[in-house]
Structure 1
Amino acid sequence: MANDTAKAPSKTVALNRKARHEYEFLDTYEAGLSLSGSEVKSLRDGKVSFKDSHVDFRGNEAFWVGAHIAPYENAGYAQHDPERPRKLLLHAREIDMLRGRKEQKGLSVIPVKLTLKRGRFKLEIALARGKRLHDKKDALKQRDLDREAKRQLSEKY
């Protein structure tokens, strides 16, 4: 308890690497997750897939839909459904704001990163706009140019 004010380290469990390529992030938020016991065990093993997952709004709640959390092999009869929607724990004003901005043309709410902070799983979600094909090509070209410039600098010294 001596370092209560110190920032607790967080462990990245999974990263949606394709999201940075497909979307331009406008804003990011951190949400808690409502999980079952076998889901927690499976997530600690890193058995999660972000493929085709997104955030959906139903009533006054937000859900993480389309994510696949593999069944935990030692769970016995108490298995979870790997594809079930998982409730996101956000403030009501954040949910209202995200829903309102999502209804604007071309904006989506997508999961970016899953972390473990102080024994709790947190999902980083982003309000994002989809990139067009030429934007993706420009980003790849810029990344290659930056990499080449770093290589040239490291060769000089």
Structure 2
Amino acid sequence: MKKPDAEPVIARNRKAAHDYQLGESWEAGIVLLGLEVKALRAGRASLVGGFAIVENGEIWLHGVHIPQYMQARWFNDGSRRKRKLLLHRAEIDKIERKVNESGLTIVPLTLYFKDGRAKVEIALARGKKTWDKRQALAEREATREVERTLNRHLKGKPN
């Protein structure tokens, strides 16, 4: 039996692109408990409000919501506990250096399974100001309007 090509995405942080200017990204393993893996396989998680911090040479993921696995009888612990991310030492040092120098934030973008293991894509991000967000929305709306007008023109419909 052939494995599917696409990795099943469990959760995606769509709000991150709106709230932050995203930079370099990395794929990291994540340390989970057995019941958390079962809850993820059920497709239930939320990355909104999540962030990562470098503490004592390790990267910890905070604020990611993995709900309780309802079929479990006991040991359903906190759903927003901090979880350790697994990266190479050189990558951790590089991320820590950039966070300390530039004042960037580490934000989770997607949570997915790859070869049976839970992975999280993290990125360095700089917070957007309110006017940046409004400007991005205005640009997106302008490009949509241009595409609509072009499609109408190609179909021979009046504006």
With normalisation by structure 2, the TM-score equals: 0.89
Are 1:23 and 2:20 counterparts? Answer: yes
User: In the TM superposition, what whole-angstrom CA distance separates every residue of 1:66-119 from its partner, at most 9, and x where no partner exists?
Assistant: 111100001111323211111101001111110111112431111111112221
Say if 1:32 and 1:148 are closer, same or farther in 2 by CA, change over 3 A.
same
Aligned residue identity for 2:62:
V
Aligned pairs for 1:108-127 (under 5 A) are 108-127=105-124
User: In the TM superposition, what whole-angstrom CA distance separates every residue of 1:40-62 from its partner, at most 9, and x where no partner exists?
Assistant: 11112222122321001121211
- Distance in structure 1 (CA, Å) of the matches to 2:111 and 2:148: 32
Check whether the contact 1:16–1:112 (CA below 8 A) recurs between aligned residues.
yes
Aligned residue identity for 1:72:
Y
Check whether the contact 1:68–1:82 (CA below 8 A) recurs between aligned residues.
yes
Check whether the contact 1:31–1:124 (CA below 8 A) recurs between aligned residues.
yes
- Distance in structure 2 (CA, Å) of the matches to 1:126 and 1:28: 4
Aligned residue identity for 2:20:
Y
Aligned residues: 154
**Structure 1 residue runs without a partner (length 5+):** none
- Which of these residues, 67, 77, 86, is aligned with residue 89 of structure 1? 86
Aligned pairs for 1:31-110 (under 5 A) are 31-110=28-107
**Structure 2 residue runs without a partner (length 5+):** none
- Distance in structure 1 (CA, Å) of the matches to 2:55 and 2:148: 49
Give % identity.
40
Are 1:13 and 2:31 counterparts? Answer: no
- Distance in structure 2 (CA, Å) of the matches to 1:41 and 1:150: 43
Q: Which moved more, 1:76-85 or 1:91-100?
A: 76-85
User: In the TM superposition, what whole-angstrom CA distance separates every residue of 1:5-29 from its partner, at most 9, and x where no partner exists?
Assistant: xx94211111111110110011111
Check whether the contact 1:50–1:68 (CA below 8 A) recurs between aligned residues.
yes
- Distance in structure 1 (CA, Å) of the matches to 2:79 and 2:8: 22
With normalisation by structure 1, the TM-score equals: 0.90
Q: Which moved more, 1:100-109 or 1:17-26?
A: 100-109
Check whether the contact 1:39–1:80 (CA below 8 A) recurs between aligned residues.
no
- Distance in structure 1 (CA, Å) of the matches to 2:102 and 2:19: 16
Aligned residue identity for 1:95:
I
- Which of these residues, 143, 146, 154, is aligned with residue 146 of structure 1? 143
Question: Partner of 1:69: helix, strand, or coil?
Answer: coil
